[in-house]
Homo-oligomer: A and B are copies of this chain.
């Protein structure tokens, strides 16, 4: 990988949303040079096995263990790629690696973050251009923050008239929160605001549906869905949805 020496290193790389056509050349190059790949099971499964490459798939919710393992192996001279889907800096492994770096005992290895196509931008592209004006990205999971903070951010984002992209909108362990999020959005943005459900973007299972907030139901989202809410000017043209560049 460009700029990285022969000593051990950690590259935290984004594999994009799923389609191999959306992987960058620099991520491919890092994977080609790696001795070890670390990551959540389905993401490591996207890396082709080859002689000299050890795969270390791990379960969800062990991000800190995974980050610490990557740093330790790199400090021992390995060339380690930590894989995330999408972009590693957006609700993914980059922050976890820096959290582990703060706690690391010994000299830190070289660290490089390799960006990828994050899910909301792939979803926006396949839906049209709903994020074409000022926007925000919110992780709707309450694993890492109180739900009250999510609601506060939804209200302020609506007041700011941001378009909004939501990661992790809904899971089996918290089925009611997304219904509550839709209620808050209807209250702040009104029932006619457009909302796009983009599921499994760029994979064979891709399904993109745009409705109004008045028509939206919680079941339209699952953990493979990115949800995009337009701003007050977002509209349809043909089967597309887009947000004009001009506002106010």
Quick check: which of A47-55, A129-137, A213-221 contacts chain B, the rest being far away? A129-137
| A103: nearest chain-B partner, CB-CB | B237
Which residues of chain A in 116-148 are interfacial with respect to chain B, using CB atoms and an 8 Å cutoff?
116-118, 121-122, 124-126, 128-139, 144-146, 148
Q: Could you tell me if B144 and A247 are in contact, using CB atoms closer than 8 angstroms?
A: yes
Among the listed stretches A33-41, A88-96, A171-179, A191-199, which one makes contact with chain B, having 4 or more residues with CB under 8 Å of it?
Answer: A88-96
**What separation, in Å, do the CA atoms of A2 and B204 have in the docked complex?**
13
Q: Which B residues touch A89, using CB under 8 A?
A: 121, 124-125, 129-132
A-side interface residues, number (CB < 8 Å): 73
Q: Tell whether A76 is near chain B: CB-to-CB under 8 Å.
A: no
**How far, in Å, is A189 (CB) from chain B's closest CB?**
14
CB distance from A33 to the nearest CB of B (A): 13
A65 to chain B minimum Cβ distance, whole angstroms, is 14
A129 to B82, CA, bound (A): 14
